[in-house]
Structure 1
Amino acid sequence: MNRRELLKGIGAAGFGSIFPLAKTLSAEEKAEVLQAPSTCFLTPQATEGPFYFDPNLIRQDITLDTTTNVIKTGLPLQLLITVINPDCAPIPNVLVDIWHCDKDGVYSGYPGQPGGINTVGQTFLRGTQMTDANGQCSFKTIYPGWYPGRVTHIHFKVRLTSTTYVTSQFAFPDSVNTAVYRTPLYAAKGQNALTNATDNIFRNPNPENLVLAITPNAATGGYDGAFTIGINVPTRVGEAETENPEEFSLRQNPPNPFNPMTTISYHLPGARKVQLVVYDVFGREVAKLIEGEQSAGMHEVAFDASHLSSGFYLYTLRAGSFAVTKEMLLMN
């Protein structure tokens, strides 16, 4: 099954989100983010940038390149990310991706960068964490460098599901950039001629709600940074699922997220030939759990994903003319 068909199946049946929201944003809709220490207000998202890819790197320390086992050097930066809704309520159990360049202005995973550098296959300075009950997650990284045409920044993506997310990037105070680029680790490249005001994305000396709150850390010799992402999505938990004996149904798998075991339940109003298949987000089949005749009533299937990598997966139930797809998240 291809990705288009899977996503169509989700839309037609009603999205079985891993996080039961009263409303979800589509990937194409305008997303909004927020950065405010004491009040909650929304600001438009910024562009994703050209250097995103999804390696499903579930890790807090993103300084290591998992291909070469080289740790990127730079001034230590401890990041605390908080995800909230417009009422300032924390949003737990969402994935936060961050990615940025190294001290020399180079991203992992891409060819044709300044100086002809090719980092295809490398994963440094990229990672994903899930927010806790307080809507928070943290990353250990380094202070980014800069590259021609852009001011210092870090990209982020908040993933509610594999197709519903918000994307933006945050800047650093100009004064901190200047101080950092005078230090021995960064001085060879010199100062960036651009500032937040002259950057083609931020275009403001202090872009509202898109500047990292940052303080020196005497213990590490680097910095601590805090950033709040406000998502215009309610967090009301949906009503419990019930089965009508005259209807088909496919339940959301518990637990979700899971590692590595979960249970998929569904209801058949009558005897049917049933197929239950798990796909990755590209539509590639990764497991066929059921194929054959089954009687009417509730059915449960255990799914062991210990052979799979972390990420979003889709499971599809087909029974006669009935077909529905839901989504689950493996965190190993």
Structure 2
Amino acid sequence: MNRRGILKGISALGLGALFPVGRLLEATVQNTGKQSRTSCFLTPQETEGPFYFDTTLVRQDITQDTKSGVVKAGLPLVMAFRVVDLNCVPMPNVLVDIWHCDKDGLYSGFPGQPGGINTSGQNFLRGIQVTDADGRCSFRSIYPGWYPGRVSHVHFKARLSSNTYVTSQFAFPEEFNKDVYATPLYAARGQNTLTNATDMIFRDPEPEGLVMAIAPNTTTGGYDGTFTIGVKVTTGLKDPAPDADSFALRQNFPNPFNPSTTIPYFLPRRSRVKLTVHDVAGREVASLVDELKASGVHEATFNAGAFSSGFYFYTLDAEGFVQTKEMLHLK
């Protein structure tokens, strides 16, 4: 079904009729202290990442590449999500998209990945589910590995048809990452030298609201995880506009790109601005802006024609506001 057909079906029938809600998978997690709250909250926006492309792949088990039939190896991971608003009211009929890399740090659907591997035409480890009347949905997957510059993480969107409530990503507790990397399936790549605190996106050992609560599953030998997505319904039916009082760094476009891309950012007042680009080793490869700028929306262009394909990170630093996003250069 194409995008137009999906939107027409949503309008006529509602999400529940078009995308039947799958039976919830069991994901019982004891209190780990992760994502614990005394009140409801708004999930922080984070970079989309360069690998979101399939808006119609509705399935609960995302381990298989539907084109080749190959099932990705890895420790089983059941992820249970709940979408609520700021008053803790469950939100039914919300599309939850997730995508992540495999145990070797590879995403489906793109060339030029670590080791020069090309996964074009594949769609493993990505999928969509629709929340039920209690705002819940779940996925069966594998524990993601790592790639240079990043810790293990999962990307997600919560959306209603084509309108996005939130785009973000979550990390995992570091003690579980270490245990997973030591297992036979993952040990060949060794332990990741990065932690949540040194990751280019999270920059925190326990990024607030962005760590999945997980626990071992003794039956599967893998893990069960739970994650709550908090959205602001009144203003969340469109991609968020800049807050007039807040600094903001936006996702570059196009992404992936070759050879150049545009990076938008917003300044609430006249400010000294630094906008830099780093490679996965943390080396600065370009300084795009280093000057006083007037308030308002600005754009900077990054030309990677002289650089190799791969992941790059761009960082906005303005009056104590520091934010980093991820982009992918494909030659």
**Normalising by structure 2, what TM-score?**
0.60
| TM-aligned CA distance change 1:181 to 1:214, over 3 Å | same
Which deviations, in whole Å up to 9, do the C-alpha atoms of 1:117-176 show, x marking residues without a partner? Answer: 111110100000000011000000000000000111000011112133420000001111
Match of 1:60, as an amino acid? Answer: Q
What corresponds to 2:136 in structure 1? 136
What corresponds to 2:151 in structure 1? 151
List aligned pairs for 1:33-182, cutoff 5 A.
35-36=35-36, 38-182=38-182
**Alpha-carbon distance between aligned partners in 1 of 2:177 and 2:162, rounded to the nearest angstrom:** 34
**Alpha-carbon distance between aligned partners in 2 of 1:44 and 1:165, rounded to the nearest angstrom:** 11
**Structure index of larger Rg:** 1
Match of 1:52, as an amino acid? Answer: Y
Give the 3-state SS of the residue equivalent to 2:163 in structure 1: coil
Query: Given that residues 94 and 160 in structure 2 are in contact (C-alpha distance below 8 angstroms), is that contact kept between their aligned partners in structure 1?
Result: yes
| TM-aligned CA distance change 1:36 to 1:112, over 3 Å | same
Query: Given that residues 213 and 226 in structure 1 are in contact (C-alpha distance below 8 angstroms), is that contact kept between their aligned partners in structure 2?
Result: yes
**Alpha-carbon distance between aligned partners in 1 of 2:164 and 2:185, rounded to the nearest angstrom:** 39
Which deviations, in whole Å up to 9, do the C-alpha atoms of 1:38-65 show, x marking residues without a partner? Answer: 5212242111001111251110000010
Runs of at least 5 residues in structure 1 that lack an aligned partner in the other structure: 7-14, 20-33, 236-332
Give the 3-state SS of the residue equivalent to 1:180 in structure 2: helix
Match of 1:46, as an amino acid? Answer: E
Question: Aligned residues, how many?
Answer: 209
Query: Given that residues 35 and 229 in structure 1 are in contact (C-alpha distance below 8 angstroms), is that contact kept between their aligned partners in structure 2?
Result: no
Which gives a bigger RCO, structure 1 or 2 (Cα 8 Å, sep 6+)? 1
What corresponds to 1:266 in structure 2? none
Q: Taking every aligned residue pair, what percent have the same amino acid on both sides?
A: 68
Query: Given that residues 109 and 120 in structure 1 are in contact (C-alpha distance below 8 angstroms), is that contact kept between their aligned partners in structure 2?
Result: yes
**Alpha-carbon distance between aligned partners in 2 of 1:218 and 1:198, rounded to the nearest angstrom:** 31
Give the 3-state SS of the residue equivalent to 1:48 in structure 2: coil
Match of 1:130, as an amino acid? Answer: V
CA offset at residue 67 of structure 1? 0.6
Root-mean-square deviation (CA, aligned residues, Å) is: 2.4
Match of 2:127, as an amino acid? Answer: G
| TM-aligned CA distance change 1:112 to 1:193, over 3 Å | same
Give the 3-state SS of the residue equivalent to 1:164 in structure 2: strand
Which deviations, in whole Å up to 9, do the C-alpha atoms of 1:273-314 show, x marking residues without a partner? Answer: xxxxxxxxxxxxxxxxxxxxxxxxxxxxxxxxxxxxxxxxxx
What corresponds to 2:224 in structure 1? 224
CA offset at residue 182 of structure 1? 0.2
Match of 1:144, as an amino acid? Answer: P
**Alpha-carbon distance between aligned partners in 2 of 1:96 and 1:47, rounded to the nearest angstrom:** 16
Give the 3-state SS of the residue equivalent to 1:92 in structure 2: coil
| TM-aligned CA distance change 1:91 to 1:55, over 3 Å | closer
| TM-aligned CA distance change 1:83 to 1:232, over 3 Å | same
**Alpha-carbon distance between aligned partners in 2 of 1:16 and 1:204, rounded to the nearest angstrom:** 44
Match of 2:201, as an amino acid? Answer: I
Runs of at least 5 residues in structure 2 that lack an aligned partner in the other structure: 5-10, 16-33, 236-331
**Normalising by structure 1, what TM-score?**
0.60
Match of 2:42, as an amino acid? Answer: L
What corresponds to 1:188 in structure 2? 188
